[in-house]
Amino acid sequence: MEPATDRSATVEPRDPMPDGYRRTLVRQIAQHAHSEIIGMQPEGEWIARAPSLRRKAILMAKVQDEAGHGLYLYAAAETLGTPREELLDALHTGRQKYSSIFNYPTLTWADVGAIGWLVDGAAIVNQVPLCRCSYGPYARAMVRICKEESFHQRQGFEILHTLSHGTPAQKAMAQDAVDRFWWPSLMMFGPPDADSPNTVQSMAWGIKRFTNDELRQRFVDIAVPQAEALGLTLPDPELRWNEERGHWDFGTPDFAELAEVVAGRGPCNAQRLAHRVRAHEDGAWVREAAAAYAAKRAARTPTREPAA
Amino acid sequence: MTTRAEWPLWEVFVRARRGMAHVHVGSLHAPDAEMALRNARDVYTRRQEGVSLWVVPATAVVASTPDLQGAFFEPAADKDYRHPTHYSVPEGVDHL
């Protein structure tokens, strides 16, 4: 395939492409889309309990953005010839995955901050290189998403900063959230390079630009000084600056835990999926009613205003 | 429980500012044109990205075939005399 091996060119939906390239993209973009809409749940749980009207408005805007990101990505996946219904069905029946991070619970308000700062922060590190991905519709969706993610990360940082500079109890709540979300955030980059057999092929196709471990290192390097600015610590005794490498050394995430969560045995897997399926089924009458209304109107009014 | 009849696909075009052309930004599903416009507003213009929206049924778009890209655009390939850079202009001649 010419365009994907030539890093400057972009593959567009109707271009010829190898089956493996198409399959890999559908799987990756769908998993990404699923992550966006499942990701609405842990934060959505806190909308009604947000500590102020401002925080509530911000959180609603953020959760709405996640829905929007899911829609950009489903549309990108559909350009590869897989219908939306099929993608949702694959999510609902567990044939396709979503990011392991959303299988952890949000126990306190500070968790909303930790998700914004760490989880969205890790997502940004993962997603910025995808803006140059070889598949045009995916790359373009990522450009939109990355622009919107930076507000998400800042609002999370601000929540933690406020808590960290509040009462001792508030600071302890912020520290507890960071302690629980730090390692799962590092796991978001996937297994170590040695155990990531698809990485080489994805890099050759221009879908991936950096390896899991490279991105994980980048994230740690960015997060350490930010934690310092927050006045919070990161729960890793092995964390120290390596003058020679010019990077932070850090401990190894518990990849056995990651494998368990990916296999469906994380703290909230069953709850997240059940909630998603229920929301879809409860919304069936809305989809049916809208289709019936559209059919009735189409039968009655054939004219439409011209574009201006 | 799933409804197999999917809502049709619409292509979305946004005019970012007055004086600019509408630009394709993506697509979405909606049961009819009115809902497509409302959904496009919510999905693609949450941050004042536009002052005007077009939604077009995806089935109404007629596209050239990528396979024939070379042949289709070939007639323009050997006519560089259509570009001003084809012509040499004597030293000192301005405004040409």
pLDDT in tens, A116-144: 999 999 999 999 999 999 999 999 999 99
Report whether pLDDT(B14) > 60.
Answer: yes
Report whether pLDDT(B2) > 60.
Answer: no
CA distance A122 to chain B (A): 23
Residue B70 has a pLDDT of 76
Residue B77 has a pLDDT of 77
d(CA A92, CA A88): 6
Residue A303 has a pLDDT of 61
Strand order of the sheet with strand B22-29? B22-29, B9-15, B52-57
Whether B30 contacts A71, CB under 8 Å:
no
Report whether pLDDT(A2) > 80.
Answer: no
pLDDT in tens, B71-94: 788 877 788 899 999 999 999 999
Q: Which of A14, A71, A307 has the CB atom closest to B43's CB atom?
A: A71
Residue A307 has a pLDDT of 67
d(CA A96, CA A93): 8
Q: Which of B6, B32, B52 has the CB atom closest to A84's CB atom?
A: B6
Report whether pLDDT(B6) > 90.
Answer: no
Separation of CA A19 from chain center: 26
**What single letter denotes the amino acid at residue A11?**
V
Tokens 């209304």 correspond to: A293
pLDDT in tens, A75-103: 999 999 999 999 999 999 999 999 999 99
Angle between helix A168-187 and helix A136-164 axes, rounded to 10 deg: 150
User: Does A16 sit within 8 Å of B67, measured CB to CB?
Assistant: yes
CA distance B52 to chain A (A): 9
pLDDT band at A4 (very low <50, low <70, confident <90, very high): very low
User: Does B3 sit within 8 Å of A284, measured CB to CB?
Assistant: yes
Mutate to test the interface with A, among B14, B24, B27 (most CBs of A within 10 A): B27
Whether A100 contacts A258, CB under 8 Å:
yes
Whether A69 contacts A62, CB under 8 Å:
no
**What single letter denotes the amino acid at residue A140?**
R
pLDDT band at B3 (very low <50, low <70, confident <90, very high): very low
What burial class does residue A219 get, using C-beta atoms within 10 Å of its C-beta: 0-12 exposed, 13-18 middle, 19+ buried? Answer: buried
pLDDT band at B64 (very low <50, low <70, confident <90, very high): confident
pLDDT in tens, A142-185: 999 999 998 999 999 999 999 999 999 999 999 999 999 999 99
d(CA A248, CA A223): 10
Residue B65 has a pLDDT of 80
The reported pTM is 0.91
CB atoms under 10 Å from CB of A244, counted, come to: 5
β-pairing, B22-29 with B9-15? antiparallel
Which of chain A's residues have a Cβ under 8 Å away from the Cβ of B26?
Answer: 72, 75-76, 137, 140-141, 144
Smallest CA-to-CA distance from B26 within B43, B38, B42 is with B43
Report whether pLDDT(A65) > 80.
Answer: yes
